[in-house]
Structure formats: C-alpha cells, structure tokens
Amino acid sequence: MDNNEQALVTDELAAIPLDHNWYQKLASNFDIIQQYLDKLDTDELELDDLKNKFDDISGKMNVYDTNMQAIVNILTKYDVPIAIVDGKVVDTTKEGE
C-alpha cells in the first residue's frame, strides 16, 4: 500500500462500539472507494481511446494495402514483373532472364 493510500475500516465492527466516530470512519470508506472507482473510469476511458486509435490505424492500413494492390494490378496489366509477397512488392523476374 502506498503512503498516500488510506486503509478501509472493515474489521473493527466487533472491537468498537457503534458510535458517531465509527460511523464517520465507515463514511470515510466510501470516500476512499470512490477514488478507486474514479480511477477505474479513467482507465476505461484510456482503453477506449487506445482502441479507437488502433481501429483508426487499422483502417488506414487497410486503405494502404488496397491501394498498393491496385497499383500492382495496374502495373501487372502492363507486363511489369511485380507482385506482393508477404506484404512487400517484389520483382518477379527470374535471374538469368
């Protein structure tokens, strides 16, 4: 536990009388828990943001791949010896030709 973290009052129910002080400690539990809930909400927002960025990049990569395939198809119609192999444009002429 960090020095900044506070401990929850959970195991003192049988040890102390249920007076106003105990109720204040119990209420402080909700403040402590709320801090962690707020952090979870922030973490989820960050994950959503990362997912959106990933989806955007994936979409751009699909456009890139589609465009590259279109270029290769056009050049192949003009007998340019190229193809896409393992995601790379390669010369398809054989050595010695």
Which segment of 43-47, 51-55, 79-83 scores lowest on mean pLDDT?
43-47
pLDDT at 56 over 60: yes
Amino acid at 72: V
pTM for the model: 0.42
* E strand segments, the chain: 82-85, 88-91
List the one residue out of 85, 54, 48 whose CA is nearest residue 68.
85
d(CA 75, CA 85): 15
Residues 26-31, mean pLDDT to the nearest whole number = 80
pLDDT score of 81: 82
Question: Could you tell me the pLDDT band of residue 2, with boundaries at 50, 70 and 90?
Answer: low
Contact 52, 58 (CB under 8 A): no
